[in-house]
Amino acid sequence: MANSDPVYLRVVEDLRRQITEGLLQPGAPIPSRHQITRKYGVGETAARHALRVLAQEGLIIGRVGSGHRVRQRPDLLPLHRAQAHFSTDMHAVGRRPTCDVKTDSAEARPDIAVRLRIAAQSPVTRTRIVYRSDGKPVQLAVSYEPIVYNDGTDDITQVAHRLGGNGLKLTEVTEHVYARVPQPVESDVLDLPAGVHVLHVERTHWAGDKPVETSDVIIPCDQFRLVYTLPAPYGEQTSR
Amino acid sequence: MANSDPVYLRVVEDLRRQITEGLLQPGAPIPSRHQITRKYGVGETAARHALRVLAQEGLIIGRVGSGHRVRQRPDLLPLHRAQAHFSTDMHAVGRRPTCDVKTDSAEARPDIAVRLRIAAQSPVTRTRIVYRSDGKPVQLAVSYEPIVYNDGTDDITQVAHRLGGNGLKLTEVTEHVYARVPQPVESDVLDLPAGVHVLHVERTHWAGDKPVETSDVIIPCDQFRLVYTLPAPYGEQTSR
DNA sequence: AGAGTAAAGTTGGAATCACAACTGATGGCC
DNA sequence: GGCCATCAGTTGTGATTCCAACTTTACTCT
């Protein structure tokens, strides 16, 4: 089998095997386009295609003039979403966390309105946060609150405290997690290499059955993993 | 600006805009390679590259002989990980869930041994599960338990019940979530289009401070989103 | 010896041509 | 009318060639 597979796949699979098996350590140089054409007896197109696929998969990284190398794959840093303590998580691994915060007013987009259970185009307070680790931007968040909850004075990053101080008792948080291709502005701000996906977390804080704040958190897949701690399911477990 | 940008990006951005703005509805045909070369005044290489990028982003899908079309993007189905009721989630959206289960014994890989806090190469019970929705495989899971917990008789999919019946009281579940490129075998089994990433959930069930079962769950990013419901953080919230 | 320069090699982008496999539609034939 | 073969169009893959921008190395000149 696999005899009639595209030629470039032969190259991809051989190099991928060498990388995942550790024959090629992180930092090791990958054969150049010309070397691949000679070693594997394929054309330049196939060699280039193979390198692009491997780069897309995050296994190698190319620099103009210098060549491709096996990518350093530092362990994905854990982000503990149950607590959502970005600074705690960063301190735990010896990074210096900072963040930029910008707040303004806007009209709720349709999807945000649905999440907040308000009418579309209702006024909301929008907060954009860029989280940095040792100066490098590593996470984006855009938070929306119905404007009635925001008194405009407290630390905007302290949702729980501020809303709590306003007499709202936050009861739970729901997070919807999926991965997608970054939008151009996101690749730009986070300085993402081509092919890296982002985790998109839609987080909503609830006070009883009322949503009081919702946010979109964008996290590069190649640097972080989300960690959830949940009570064990028991009792009413049904068949799956 | 953007004048010296690669030509193919001009095409990508124009088509992407048309799709995201709704000018091109799902199912609508995308100009073919030759049409793009004429309409945008670019070469075949640029046209091909643009189509490949858009396909990679999941915005369009191409079929040999028939052309590219704007991808149907059904809402991502929610998977409620807190309960991990695959069948409940599927029934809720009118799908018929089934699954294949295969169990055998194996030696713990190093990473699995760490997660289970046992010695590497200790014997474990390995369970592979392929979840299907309306017959199509949509999710993979491989579960590992130290062999001592497995009496080999109960329904293997009922981790909580079975382990509970063995006198172990499960207290919590931790899940590590990240996205990555699927391995060849995963693309194969799940029949993933090129470019689609998967969510990888490393789930561990705990009885007190002892891990009693750990599993790797592989979920296609283009079909599902994970939904977590957590108690609201309060009290000891520190600055972020 | 040190600094600056030149050369060789590499990636990313691009044009052009070619071919196999496939789809959809057309038109002819029974 | 119904069936089948043909044909144009399309994608995916591939070869070849070229060029700009960049990095690294080696060399030359002061």
> Which chain B residues contact residue A187 at CB under 8 A?
none
Residue A83 has pLDDT above 60, yes or no: no
> Which chain B residues contact residue A155 at CB under 8 A?
239
Let me know whether B102 and B48 are in one domain: no
Residue B95 has pLDDT above 60, yes or no: yes
Mean pLDDT of A225-230: 86
Let me know whether B64 and B137 are in one domain: no
Residue B31 has pLDDT above 90, yes or no: yes
The mean pLDDT of chain B is: 80
Cα separation, A51 vs A101, in Å, equals 39
Residue B195 forms part of a structural domain: yes
Q: Tell which of B17, B50, B70 closes a domain.
A: B70
Question: B155 pLDDT band (50/70/90 cuts)?
Answer: very low
Query: From the alpha carbon of A32, which nucleotide's C1' atom is closest?
Result: C10
The chain B residue lying nearest A99, using CA atoms, is B240
- What's the Å distance between residue B24 CA and nucleotide C22 C1'? 25
Cβ contact B15:B55 at 8 Å: no
Residue A234 forms part of a structural domain: no
Option in A172, A233, A239 nearest B232 (CB): A172
Q: Which positions 66-105 of B are in contact with A (Cβ < 8 Å)?
A: 76, 78, 81-88, 97, 99
Question: B168 pLDDT band (50/70/90 cuts)?
Answer: low
The string of pLDDT tens digits covering residues A145-169 is 887 655 444 444 455 555 555 566 7
The string of pLDDT tens digits covering residues A96-109 is 677 888 888 999 99
CA distances for B17 relative to A164, B25, B54, angstroms = 41, 12, 11
CA distances for A5 relative to A48, A156, B95, angstroms = 17, 55, 34
Cα separation, B155 vs B148, in Å, equals 16
Residue A139 forms part of a structural domain: yes
Let me know whether B84 and B167 are in one domain: yes
Mean pLDDT of B14-23: 91
B168, B172, B221, B228: which to substitute to probe chain A, counting the most A Cβ within 10 Å? B228
Let me know whether A48 and A156 are in one domain: no
Cα separation, A134 vs A98, in Å, equals 8
Sequence-separated (6 or more) residues with CB below 8 Å from residue A176: A201, A202, A203, B78, B225, B226, B227
Residue A217 forms part of a structural domain: yes
CB atoms within 10 A of CB A2: 7
Is any atom of strand D within 7 angstroms of residue A61's beta carbon?
no
Let me know whether A134 and A60 are in one domain: no
Q: Tell which of B47, B70, B93 closes a domain.
A: B70
Mean pLDDT of B189-214: 84
Helices (H), chain A: 7-20, 33-40, 44-56, 86-92, 110-116, 159-165, 184-190
Q: Averaging pLDDT over each range in B13-17, B143-147, B234-238, which range is the top one?
A: B13-17
CATH number at residue B205: 3.40.1410.10
Q: Which positions 124-153 of B are in contact with A (Cβ < 8 Å)?
A: none
Sequence-separated (6 or more) residues with CB below 8 Å from residue A15: A24, A30, A50, A54, A59, A60
Q: Averaging pLDDT over each range in A90-94, B22-26, B29-33, which range is the top one?
A: B29-33
Mean pLDDT of B7-23: 92
Q: Tell which of B70, B92, B107 closes a domain.
A: B70
Please give the torsion angle defined by the CA atoms of residues B29, B35, B36 and B42, in that order, rounded to the nearest 10 degrees: 170
What is the DSSP secondary structure assignment for residue A102, as one 8-state letter?
E
Let me know whether B162 and B130 are in one domain: yes
Please give the torsion angle defined by the CA atoms of residues A78, A82, A83 and A85, in that order, rounded to the nearest 10 degrees: 30
Let me know whether A43 and A120 are in one domain: no
Residue A236 has pLDDT above 50, yes or no: no
Nearest alpha-carbon partner for B223 in B93, B114, B108: B93
Question: A91 pLDDT band (50/70/90 cuts)?
Answer: low
Residue A239 forms part of a structural domain: no
CATH number at residue A54: 1.10.10.10
The chain A residue lying nearest B83, using CA atoms, is A233
Q: Is A13 helix (H, G, I), strand (E, B) or coil?
A: helix
Question: B1 pLDDT band (50/70/90 cuts)?
Answer: very low
Instruction: Write the DSSP string, A155-184.
Output: -TT-HHHHHHHTT----EEEEEEEEEPPPH
Residue A27 has pLDDT above 80, yes or no: yes
A100, A229, A239, A240: which to substitute to probe chain B, counting the most B Cβ within 10 Å? A240
Residue B157 has pLDDT above 90, yes or no: no
Total tally of structural domains belonging to chain B: 2
Q: What order of strands is seen across the sheet that includes strand B77-80?
A: A97-107, A123-133, A136-146, A210-220, A198-207, A172-180, B224-231, B77-80
Mean pLDDT of B83-94: 63
Q: What percent of chain B has pLDDT over 70?
A: 78
- Residue A80 φ/ψ, nearest 5 degrees: -85, 95
Q: Is B141 helix (H, G, I), strand (E, B) or coil?
A: strand
Cβ contact A199:A76 at 8 Å: no
Residue-number span of the structural domain to which A50 is assigned:
7-70
Let me know whether A134 and A154 are in one domain: yes
Cα separation, A34 vs A141, in Å, equals 43
- What's the Å distance between residue A31 CA and nucleotide D27 C1'? 27
Stretch among B19-33, B109-123, B176-190, B200-214 having the lowest mean pLDDT? B176-190
Question: B94 pLDDT band (50/70/90 cuts)?
Answer: low
Let me know whether B116 and B131 are in one domain: yes
Sequence-separated (6 or more) residues with CB below 8 Å from residue A62: A51, A55, A68
> Which chain B residues contact residue A99 at CB under 8 A?
240
B174 touches chain A (CB under 8 A): yes
Residue B239 forms part of a structural domain: no
- Residue A157: the pLDDT is 45
Let me know whether A66 and A82 are in one domain: no
Q: With an 8 Å Cβ cutoff, are A175 and B87 in contact? A: no
Instruction: Write the DSSP string, B90-129.
Output: HHHTT--EEEEEEEEEEEPPHHHHHHHTS-TT-EEEEEEE
Residue B92 has pLDDT above 90, yes or no: no
- What's the Å distance between residue A61 CA and nucleotide D20 C1'? 20
Residue B46 has pLDDT above 80, yes or no: yes
**Shortest Cα–Cα distance, A206 to chain B (Å):** 8
Q: Which positions 5-24 of A are in contact with B (Cβ < 8 Å)?
A: 13
B129, B132, B177, B214: which to substitute to probe chain A, counting the most A Cβ within 10 Å? B177
Question: B148 pLDDT band (50/70/90 cuts)?
Answer: low
Residue A232 forms part of a structural domain: no
Query: From the alpha carbon of A66, which nucleotide's C1' atom is closest?
Result: D23
Let me know whether B87 and B202 are in one domain: yes
Mean pLDDT of A219-228: 86
Residue B89 forms part of a structural domain: yes
Let me know whether A109 and A179 are in one domain: yes
- What's the Å distance between residue A141 CA and nucleotide D23 C1'? 37
Cα separation, A50 vs A43, in Å, equals 11
